[in-house]
Structure 1
Amino acid sequence: MKDTLPYAYAGGAVGLHHLYVPRPVDEELAALLKTRRMLVNLRAPRQYGKTSLSIRLCEILEEAGHVTVLLDLRSVIGTVDEHSNTGEKWYGLFFRYIARKIGVLAADVNEWMRKESSESPIVRISNFLKHFIRRYVNKPIFLVIDEIDYVMPHGHYTDYLFEALRLIHADLDGLDLSVMLCGITHPSHLIKASGAGAFNVGHDVVLPDFPDDDGAVELWASGLPNIERRREVSRAILKATGGHPFLTSVLHNDAACAGITAPDEVAGLVEVLLADARNDMRLTPHFETPAAIIAAHVSRGYMALEVFRKLRASGDPIDLRELDKGVGTLLQTAGLVRVEGRSVSVRNPIYRSFFDDDWVSQELRSMGRGRSDRVNQRRVTRGDRKKVCLINCGGTLGMERQPDGTLAQPTDLRQFYGAVPELDDVADIDPLPLMCKDGIHMHPEDWGTIAEAIYARRNDGYSGFVLSHGTDSLAFTASAVAFALGSSLSFPVVFTGSQAPMDVPHGDARPNLIRATHLATQPIPEVCIAFSDKCFRAVRTFKVDDFKFEGFATTMNTPLALVTETVDINKGILRPVTQNERLKLRAAFEHRLIKLHVHPGLDPHLFLPLLDIAEDEKADNKYRTRGIVLETPGVGNIPTEFRWSLLPLIRSAVKRDIPVLITSQFPVKSETRAQYRPATAPLEAGAISAGGMTAPAALVKFMWAIADADRLVAANDIAPDERLSEIRAIMGRDIVGEVDVETTGQRPPNV
């Protein structure tokens, strides 16, 4: 039955018995390759006809007297394993496959590789293409390297292939050699070394979506001879699929089988297709492929899914330049987005419907599950050994040195943490490459992602969690996770970082990681920060130095624990766990805040126009100020005289339902504040005091409190005019030990 359908019904090459709808670029490329020797960068999403076009080009060029080799990296090399996890192994597979296709024995390749072992990898690849294969072939050669995106999970050694092609590019005519790289993304995005520059050689060809213009409609409609209004039906299908070749073929087959007569019936075909796909009745591989691709790149998978969720929610394209390079590449590799110039949008209406918020949430929850990522398998897991989830968020501690001296995310997290064998003496380690970012690039959405990853694994048998993180924003992220997980947390969540990278022998990376892992096995039901030999409560910690190994300090009189030969826990100051209450996740943070550092000469009139935007009904909601933080240099006092007075700014903000928080570079004791009129004046004007909270904890809690109050308003649990009062109440309430009870003598009730 399937062979009688007019259109291709599966991925891969289009069969001879199926309709092949050519694009103008097909004939143009064939004509070029017949007359010139060139490097071609062929790009298109999955199931867009790259392989079919490659096969047809090989057939055309073989008829013209060329020798052709089609090397599919997915099948020849595949993902990282023991056969491909070094440059020597990877290129051995690469060389031997090409040699076999031109009739050369593997033994001859192995002998050649042995003789060339003293050469650099780039020179060796160049010599293989320039000299070795020419010993056996005296005709023009057309080499197709398909699925080039499969270099992504491999190490930096795959960069040598692109550098070698740069090297020989100018000599292709003399070598009588053409090379075509087929993939989803441009080779520039597949080069891993920082500062390597763009892959700016070769002829770039992008296979486009089919338009719904008359020419494309006529070609597609030719397979529907029995449908009277076939052109209108084809146009409606092309609109529904966004011109995606595979989905367009599927719906044309469905139209032929159903015998539809009008274009308005196409919507029904789409609904049936989506229902079948959701129930795994057909097209399962097609719709499972994006999730599989993203799951294979966990380090950027979380960020990619969050970006896709935003694209779906907003409906507006985003600028490609706003995305992390690896995230943009991954979304294109997965085929979820369409890139036109610098504009990124959801691929097509069918994808927008199938890959919905439930799908994104499910993939986020399952990210990194079911993987045998033990750091070291020397030990057999015993019932008395504890299990720790080690989450890499980036920072100096979570990055490895590259050949060019820069720091980048580890290619293989198992190998990376395997360089610290002492971890295996502490616990069974499950590493999770959640993200790999410099601390300064962390933002509130990342805080939510981290909290969600911990929450999703709360019942997976871990005694605790360790998170490696950049030190610049470590106190902010750790505080945010503490508020997101709340007062019912019953296990340790230990953040750590380092001032020096892992490869510095005398540095702090290894001891910090080992000690943090020790702490994650202890009865410390808190989110904490482990640095040097101390363990601090996250919401009472701040950074004090960017070089010394004692990089953090606390406002508490003593740390929660001290790591010596044993772990000495100060049980008397541990936060009591809220009993008989399940762990709840509240990971929303309001980021539309303005934080001003109060200094001599700060003119409040510069900021009053920002408040007017909040009342402007025409203003974009993304730019409405939702809160103001004034960080003072003293005990919470602000200028209150003449034009420098900040009181009008506070009153104006509160009048517009914008809360104002007063924090200090130094913890403020309530009895001290009462002695200073400039410290009480802002509170009388309607501002909220952060009290003895650290600046990072106060800011993060304020963002969390605003989001939580807005949640209550949206749920009709409080009236809109109670919003400011609710924010004030939350800020004065001790949630996770952030309130300075040592100075007040009282601990407000937990929530």
Structure 2
Amino acid sequence: MSQSQSTYEYQVGGSLNGDAPSYVTRKADLDFYGALKAGHFCYLLNSRQMGKSSLRVRTMKRLQAEGIVCVFIDLMGIGTQDVTSEKWYAGIFYTLVRGFELTSKIQWRSWWREQQELLTPVQRLSLFIEEILLVEIKQKIVIFVDEIDQVLSQKFSLDDFFGLIRYCHDQRDTYTDYQRLTFALLGVAKPSDLIQNKAQTPFTIGQAIQLQGFEFDEVQPLINGLKEQFANPEAVIKDILYWTGGQPFLTQKLCQLVIHADKITKKQANTEMVAQIIQDCLVENWEVYDEPEHLRTIRDRIIRNEQKAVQLLGLYEKIFHQGGITADGSAEQMELRLSGLVVEKQGQLKVYNLIYRAVFDNNWIEKNLKQLRPYADDIAAWIASGGQDQSYLLQGSQLQDTLTWTLGKCLCNEDYQFLVASQTLAKQQTEQLLEATEQASQLLASARSKAKQEVQKRRISWGWIPLITLTVTLPILLLRWGGLLQGLEWFMLDQFFRWRPLEPSDSLIAIVTIDETDLTQVGQWPIPDGILAKA
């Protein structure tokens, strides 16, 4: 199908330059510009692709038009691979020297190395700000530091860097030159992430700038791009905002998709047209066709960290099914908000928009929880039973393996309740087993005691043994001495000989009988051995 052509282009991804026709001015534009112009330290911490970089570009241009000197530090550009603390601070130092055009005023390489022996990197940076930057630059100064979440990926602590920013703020009460210096921090992080060492004072300075999505009364630049192809562009943008919730990246992308849709699609009513484009181009096979990457960024932000993934998915599951939960500012809620998937509205944490709800639906939640939880099926069935069916609780080696898996992980409340219930059941079963063992031991001891008593009852007393012995032995002795038993004894002896088996004759033994005839024949006595031998 042929596509309609438009001369108007929306910005999908990346930062918009100061005069981009599709740039939408929001309340945050006025707040950010006004706070920095007044010299207030500011931080703009929000999820990705909410327009932070575009807002920074626009604000820098306005401040520079007012004569304020601005420098932009992109921490992403410094990198994280093979970067030492020394190199990292040297990168910040060089960016400032170049940005403030001080290369003709200072030999930056030699200056940095000359201080190396006595000062740490952060001390050298502080010395540069005080003795060079504030001396050479007489105007107001604003330093924008973007992608501050990159510091969380470094292998070394950068608490001192944010401590230096706080130091510059605190010096305003003592040195007036510091009143000309202002910092603006941008990134995907929480203020509590900036200084992680609990022994140091947390990063609590500065004004938080709230960056919200697009509102209908702000999107006239987007409407201008729809006028070429739609008779009622206001109605189209309302349908787009209905689906995107005003999320800047999605709103710009959907506007772009709408103006480049084929003519057949555009013949539909606005509502059906927008819904079909969303289904075909954003929701269906989104993991493959998500370009420029947006939805995959949200997905990775939630599930890439195995220690927190179950907790964040469990929290999102509750928000998804309940329609919203009370926003309490907890660490897990802030982490989920930084993913961009949910947003706080009127004290409630809700899914940001209908597109996110269609992409990250219940099937997606269950699929990822099942991949992450080794007990996914068990907890799902247990929750479905209202937490009453104990047959789904973990037992034995499965429980032990699961407890080992949980070490170092943050889980949601349902997971903890499930594991506590499993441990409670295991404890009850152990106690019941111990109780049964104790009862069996008591029964065995009781049986042994009764048996012993019974044996004692039936055992002949020691006092009776001599009497019984005399009673049996004395009659036998009397009969023996009276000879009454001798005939019986001889009879029994003869009988034993008869019962004895016959032994074979020995060929070495000869029996010679001598009678009167033999004596008469020989004629003498004793008979000589020679005659006996012949016999």
Structures share fold, TM-score greater than 0.5: yes
- 1:39 equivalent in structure 2: 41
Q: Which runs of 5+ in 1 are unaligned?
A: 368-444, 453-478, 498-587, 596-625, 632-660, 677-751
Q: Structure 1 137/262 Cα, relative in aligned 2: closer, same or farther at 3 Å?
A: same
> C-alpha displacement at 1:49, in angstroms?
1.4
- 1:285 equivalent in structure 2: 293
Give, in whole Å, the separation in 1 of the partners of 2:433 and 2:396.
23
Is it true that 1:272 corresponds to 2:276 in the alignment?
no
Give, in whole Å, the separation in 2 of the partners of 1:353 and 1:43.
26
> C-alpha displacement at 1:56, in angstroms?
1.4
CA contact under 8 A between 2:141 and 2:182: conserved in structure 1? yes
Give the number of equivalent residue pairs: 410
Match of 2:185 among 181, 197, 217: 181
1:680-736 per-residue CA deviation (whole Å, 9 max, x = no partner) reads xxxxxxxxxxxxxxxxxxxxxxxxxxxxxxxxxxxxxxxxxxxxxxxxxxxxxxxxx
- 1:303 equivalent in structure 2: 311
- 1:48 equivalent in structure 2: 50
1:477-530 per-residue CA deviation (whole Å, 9 max, x = no partner) reads xx76832699xx9xxx98899xxxxxxxxxxxxxxxxxxxxxxxxxxxxxxxxx
Is it true that 1:58 corresponds to 2:66 in the alignment?
no
What code does the residue aligned with 1:334 have?
S
> C-alpha displacement at 1:182, in angstroms?
1.0
Give the SS at the match of 2:182: strand
- 2:505 equivalent in structure 1: none
Give, in whole Å, the separation in 2 of the partners of 1:132 and 1:116.
17
Map residues 354-433 of structure 1 onto 2, 5 A cutoff: 354-357=359-362, 359-360=364-365
Give, in whole Å, the separation in 1 of the partners of 2:322 and 2:57.
40
- 1:163 equivalent in structure 2: 163
Q: Structure 1 11/3 Cα, relative in aligned 2: closer, same or farther at 3 Å?
A: farther
Q: Structure 1 219/495 Cα, relative in aligned 2: closer, same or farther at 3 Å?
A: closer
Give, in whole Å, the separation in 1 of the partners of 2:274 and 2:107.
57
> C-alpha displacement at 1:118, in angstroms?
3.7
CA contact under 8 A between 1:229 and 1:262: conserved in structure 2? no
CA contact under 8 A between 1:237 and 1:266: conserved in structure 2? yes
Is it true that 1:11 corresponds to 2:30 in the alignment?
no
Q: Structure 1 355/674 Cα, relative in aligned 2: closer, same or farther at 3 Å?
A: same
Give, in whole Å, the separation in 2 of the partners of 1:328 and 1:271.
29
Give, in whole Å, the separation in 1 of the partners of 2:28 and 2:155.
33
Give the SS at the match of 2:43: strand
1:562-619 per-residue CA deviation (whole Å, 9 max, x = no partner) reads xxxxxxxxxxxxxxxxxxxxxxxxxx98937998xxxxxxxxxxxxxxxxxxxxxxxx
Q: Structure 1 50/113 Cα, relative in aligned 2: closer, same or farther at 3 Å?
A: farther
Give, in whole Å, the separation in 2 of the partners of 1:28 and 1:228.
35
CA contact under 8 A between 1:48 and 1:246: conserved in structure 2? yes
Q: Structure 1 296/164 Cα, relative in aligned 2: closer, same or farther at 3 Å?
A: farther
Q: Structure 1 359/137 Cα, relative in aligned 2: closer, same or farther at 3 Å?
A: farther
Task: Between the two structures, name the one with larger relative contact order (CA 8 Å, sep ≥ 6).
Answer: 2
Q: Structure 1 305/120 Cα, relative in aligned 2: closer, same or farther at 3 Å?
A: farther
Give, in whole Å, the separation in 2 of the partners of 1:119 and 1:97.
20
> C-alpha displacement at 1:95, in angstroms?
1.9
Q: Structure 1 158/356 Cα, relative in aligned 2: closer, same or farther at 3 Å?
A: farther
1:126-158 per-residue CA deviation (whole Å, 9 max, x = no partner) reads 333333433553433221101112222225622
Give, in whole Å, the separation in 2 of the partners of 1:39 and 1:189.
17
Map residues 240-251 of structure 1 onto 2, 5 A cutoff: 240-251=243-254
Is it true that 1:130 corresponds to 2:113 in the alignment?
no
Give, in whole Å, the separation in 1 of the partners of 2:420 and 2:406.
28
Give, in whole Å, the separation in 2 of the partners of 1:2 and 1:15.
25
CA contact under 8 A between 2:145 and 2:185: conserved in structure 1? yes
CA contact under 8 A between 1:337 and 1:344: conserved in structure 2? yes
Q: Structure 1 670/110 Cα, relative in aligned 2: closer, same or farther at 3 Å?
A: farther
Q: Which runs of 5+ in 2 are unaligned?
A: 380-393, 408-413, 444-535
Match of 2:71 among 52, 69, 72: 69
What code does the residue aligned with 1:157 have?
S
> C-alpha displacement at 1:268, in angstroms?
2.0
Is it true that 1:352 corresponds to 2:357 in the alignment?
yes
Q: Structure 1 132/302 Cα, relative in aligned 2: closer, same or farther at 3 Å?
A: farther
Give, in whole Å, the separation in 2 of the partners of 1:179 and 1:267.
43
- 1:144 equivalent in structure 2: 144
> C-alpha displacement at 1:180, in angstroms?
0.8
Give, in whole Å, the separation in 2 of the partners of 1:302 and 1:87.
33
Give the SS at the match of 2:158: helix
> C-alpha displacement at 1:196, in angstroms?
4.3
Give the SS at the match of 1:288: helix
> C-alpha displacement at 1:207, in angstroms?
0.9
Q: Structure 1 52/590 Cα, relative in aligned 2: closer, same or farther at 3 Å?
A: closer
CA contact under 8 A between 1:3 and 1:17: conserved in structure 2? no
> C-alpha displacement at 1:237, in angstroms?
1.5
> C-alpha displacement at 1:277, in angstroms?
5.5
CA contact under 8 A between 2:32 and 2:42: conserved in structure 1? no
- 1:238 equivalent in structure 2: 241
> C-alpha displacement at 1:288, in angstroms?
2.0
CA contact under 8 A between 2:18 and 2:58: conserved in structure 1? no
- 1:98 equivalent in structure 2: 96
What code does the residue aligned with 1:145 have?
V
Give, in whole Å, the separation in 1 of the partners of 2:396 and 2:249.
43
Instruction: State the percentage of identical aligned residues.
Output: 25
- 1:227 equivalent in structure 2: 230
- 1:483 equivalent in structure 2: 398
Q: Structure 1 338/672 Cα, relative in aligned 2: closer, same or farther at 3 Å?
A: same
Could you say which structure has the higher strand fraction? 1
What code does the residue aligned with 1:55 have?
V
What code does the residue aligned with 2:360 have?
F
Q: Structure 1 284/301 Cα, relative in aligned 2: closer, same or farther at 3 Å?
A: farther
Q: TM-score by structure 2 length?
A: 0.64
> C-alpha displacement at 1:279, in angstroms?
5.8
Give, in whole Å, the separation in 2 of the partners of 1:72 and 1:236.
36
> C-alpha displacement at 1:163, in angstroms?
1.4
Give, in whole Å, the separation in 1 of the partners of 2:337 and 2:140.
33
Give, in whole Å, the separation in 1 of the partners of 2:424 and 2:20.
67
1:276-320 per-residue CA deviation (whole Å, 9 max, x = no partner) reads 552623535112222444566444345334433443344332544
CA contact under 8 A between 1:44 and 1:184: conserved in structure 2? yes
Is it true that 1:26 corresponds to 2:52 in the alignment?
no
Give, in whole Å, the separation in 1 of the partners of 2:97 and 2:30.
29
1:529-588 per-residue CA deviation (whole Å, 9 max, x = no partner) reads xxxxxxxxxxxxxxxxxxxxxxxxxxxxxxxxxxxxxxxxxxxxxxxxxxxxxxxxxxx9
CA contact under 8 A between 2:145 and 2:186: conserved in structure 1? yes
Could you say which structure has the higher helix fraction? 2
1:206-236 per-residue CA deviation (whole Å, 9 max, x = no partner) reads 1112234xx2355543332142332222222
CA contact under 8 A between 1:41 and 1:181: conserved in structure 2? yes
1:246-297 per-residue CA deviation (whole Å, 9 max, x = no partner) reads 1111122223333465334322222123245526235351122224445664
Give the SS at the match of 1:157: coil
Q: Structure 1 628/164 Cα, relative in aligned 2: closer, same or farther at 3 Å?
A: closer
Q: Structure 1 302/92 Cα, relative in aligned 2: closer, same or farther at 3 Å?
A: farther
- 2:434 equivalent in structure 1: 667
Is it true that 1:331 corresponds to 2:300 in the alignment?
no
Give the SS at the match of 2:70: strand
Map residues 720-731 of structure 1 onto 2, 5 A cutoff: none
RMSD: 4.3
Answer with 1 or 2: which has the greater Rg: 2
> C-alpha displacement at 1:669, in angstroms?
4.2
Give the SS at the match of 1:4: coil
Q: Structure 1 108/349 Cα, relative in aligned 2: closer, same or farther at 3 Å?
A: same
Give, in whole Å, the separation in 1 of the partners of 2:18 and 2:5.
12
Q: Structure 1 309/110 Cα, relative in aligned 2: closer, same or farther at 3 Å?
A: farther
1:404-444 per-residue CA deviation (whole Å, 9 max, x = no partner) reads xxxxxxxxxxxxxxxxxxxxxxxxxxxxxxxxxxxxxxxxx
- 1:88 equivalent in structure 2: 86
Give, in whole Å, the separation in 2 of the partners of 1:134 and 1:205.
26
> C-alpha displacement at 1:123, in angstroms?
4.2
Give, in whole Å, the separation in 2 of the partners of 1:219 and 1:274.
23
Give, in whole Å, the separation in 1 of the partners of 2:371 and 2:117.
43
Give, in whole Å, the separation in 2 of the partners of 1:302 and 1:590.
11
